[in-house]
Amino acid sequence: GAVVSQHPSRVICKSGTSVKIECRSLDFQATTMFWYRQFPKQSLMLMATSNEGSKATYEQGVEKDKFLINHASLTLSTLTVTSAHPEDSSFYICSALRGEAYNDQSNQPQHFGDGTRLSIL
């Protein structure tokens, strides 16, 4: 199966700290990865689309200077929350699409990591 590893699973840190979250595809190459955020009792909200070797595409209302995304290889994307504040506390989840060709790539499912619970004190 398609395995996506996300690390760390939980972070608790002081306000003003920068936090890096890693998302790795373990058994496939992921040309595209996505970053979502989920607040309690809310739906998953897409933050950005990360493509290997190019700049991420951010959704409206997501600050690109605050949420830095790097997709330097076909198996790794990172999200760095810079100068995190309590309002950034949330559940951050990455997902990945396989890089190999499908007959119809729009029918590819996304494979999710286990998520990172970020708590800013």
* 108 touches other proteins by CB under 8 A: yes
How many Å apart are CA 6 and CA 78, to the nearest integer? 9
* 76 touches other proteins by CB under 8 A: no
- The interface region with other proteins, picked from 12-20, 60-68, 72-80, 87-95 by CB under 8 A, is 87-95
Of the candidates 117, 114, 118, 119, the residue with the CA atom closest to the CA atom of residue 24: 114
Task: Identify the DSSP state of 108.
Answer: P
Burial class (CB in 10 A: 0-12, 13-18, 19+), 101: exposed
* 44 touches other proteins by CB under 8 A: yes
* 97 touches other proteins by CB under 8 A: yes
The residues that touch other proteins, with contacts defined as CB under 8 A, are 6, 31-32, 34, 42-44, 46, 49, 51, 91, 93, 95, 97, 104-115, 117
